[in-house]
Amino acid sequence: MRIAILTNEYPPHIYGGAGVHVEYLTRELTRLDNGAHTVNVFAFGEQSLRQGNLSVRGVRPDFFLPSQEPRHEKFMDTLARDLLMAGSLRDVDVIHCHTWYTHLAGCLARQLTGAPLVLTTHSLEPHRPWKVEQLGTAYHASTWIERTAYQNADGVIAVSEAMHADVQTLYGVRPERIRVIHNGIDLEQYQPTPDRAVLASHGIDADKPFVLFVGRITRQKGIVHLVHAIPHLLAGTQVVLCAGAPDTEEIGREMTEAVEQARRRTSNSIIWIARMLPKQEIIPLYSQAAVFVCPSVYEPFGIINLEAMACGTPVVASAVGGIREVVIPEETGLLVPIEARGESDFEPRDPNRFALDLAAAVNRLLDDPPRRREMGHRCRARVESHFGWPSIARQTCDFYRSIGRP
């Protein structure tokens, strides 16, 4: 097959789970059937690679589209890149788009080339209303593009059963056009890797337990709720926040103020690493953490939990979305319920209660090292048995073959 992958993120520019998914899925697709398939990736950036049956091309417009206000500039830039992608596709058997950023390109290329269009549901715009802070009224336009794509796609891959239900409810996608294929993990790369030198380089005391968060500073990831929980954690606990790339200046300031307030209210050490770390550093952090915490208020799947589990670390996470299909309560971690404000506003109705519940769940595991170790072994066993990328690539390729233009 001649497979076209359209994506915003691709190495070296990865900032979220969708980018991680595309990186590993692409690699495994090129390996299927003894390399019989050609994979052409079009991404937002300056990438340029031709290696065997893989081709990667970064798309950057050399023109500037006008916009009504500064918050619209990124949206207009996305449209320009999509037009370039759509006009660049040649001789493809399937077009596979990831996130709304490439959906316009996919819709246009479907009409221009006659190839079927597949979308992978990493998230859905109506469930991310906080993006109005970033995009202004362009958020309504991005939602419209996403809706149009789902209504025209020939096949939809949902990364969880929760997303399967969402694409039906929000966009009326027929169930027979949807296939649930979970995200995966590179089991050779992500594995228990103790390295005290990495801890020392970040000022982490290897002789004291630490709680770890990894992710962007965004309302979706719920990091501020975790920071509010810190003063309620057991004494002697270190908290390591690998958190960078704030969505907006506003949430960046909110995060700074929350950390400063938490430091005034606790004697526990708070180590804030305000950048996204490379894998060779983040894997030892996962491996040596006592507990990994994922306080997301909206999470279609949550690859980040797989990464921690693959490194043998139990997880305390919000009981939302696809997380409930990854973390098994009382076996590989603990889930903390959220009473959300509404159907499209996933912020906790009672943020203080949520912070206290997060702290209580973390404290349960901190107070029981033997149970943490047992959970850690179960975490590794679960990812090995359910979430390998080769199987996911095979399921994806089989789905390509099963669909066709009506």
Q: What is the model's pLDDT at position 296?
A: 95
DSSP line for 73-112? HHHHHHHHHHHHHHHH--S-SEEEEESGGGHHHHHHHHHH
pLDDT value at 332 more than 90: yes
For residue 355, pLDDT over 80 is answered with yes
Phi-psi sector, 402: left (phi>0), alpha (psi -120 to 50), beta: alpha
Tokens of 258: 């929350």
Give the Cα separation of 406 and 404 in Å (integer).
6
Strand 270-273 and strand 48-51: the pairing is unpaired
Neighbouring C-beta atoms of residue 22, cutoff 10 Å: 25
- Could you identify the residue written with the tokens 């649930």? 180
Q: What average pLDDT is seen over the chain? A: 94
Q: Where are the domains of the chain?
A: 2-184+388-402, 196-386
Residue 406: pLDDT above 60?
no
Q: What is the pLDDT of residue 405?
A: 58
Nearest to 26 by CA among 400, 300, 396, 379: 396
- pLDDT over 60 (residue 79): yes
Backbone angles phi, psi at 44, to 5 degrees: -85, 105
Going by C-alpha positions, the residue among 192, 236, 250, 244 that lies closest to residue 213 is 244
Q: How confident is the model at residue 340 (pLDDT cuts 50, 70, 90)?
A: confident
Region 124-152 average pLDDT:
89
Residue 128 banded pLDDT, cuts 50, 70, 90: confident
pLDDT at 347: 86
Which of 304, 291, 283, 308 has the alpha carbon at shortest distance from 195?
Answer: 283
- What's the pLDDT score for residue 133? 79
List pLDDT tens digits, range 376-391: 999 999 999 999 999 9
**Is the pLDDT reported for residue 73 higher than 60?**
yes
271 near 277, Cβ under 8 Å?
no
pLDDT in tens, 172-227: 999 999 999 999 999 999 999 999 999 999 999 999 999 999 999 998 899 999 99
> Are the beta carbons of 328 and 305 closer than 8 angstroms?
no
Residue 405 vs residue 41, higher pLDDT: 41
3-state helix, strand, coil in the chain (%, to 5): 50, 20, 30
| Mean pLDDT value across residues 339-366 | 89
pLDDT over 70 at 374, yes or no = yes
User: What are the residues whose beta carbons fall under 8 Å from the beta carbon of 284, sequence distance 6 or more?
Assistant: 193, 194, 195, 198, 199
> Does residue 177 contact residue 157 with C-beta atoms inside 8 Å?
no
What pLDDT is stored for residue 245 in this prediction? Answer: 85
Would you say domain 196-386 falls under CATH 3.40.50.2000?
Answer: yes
Instruction: Locate 141 and state its tokens.
Output: 């336009």
Rounded to 10 degrees, the C-alpha dihedral 387/361/282/8 comes to: 60
Average pLDDT over residues 247-256: 92
Domain 2-184+388-402 grouped into CATH 3.40.50.2000: yes
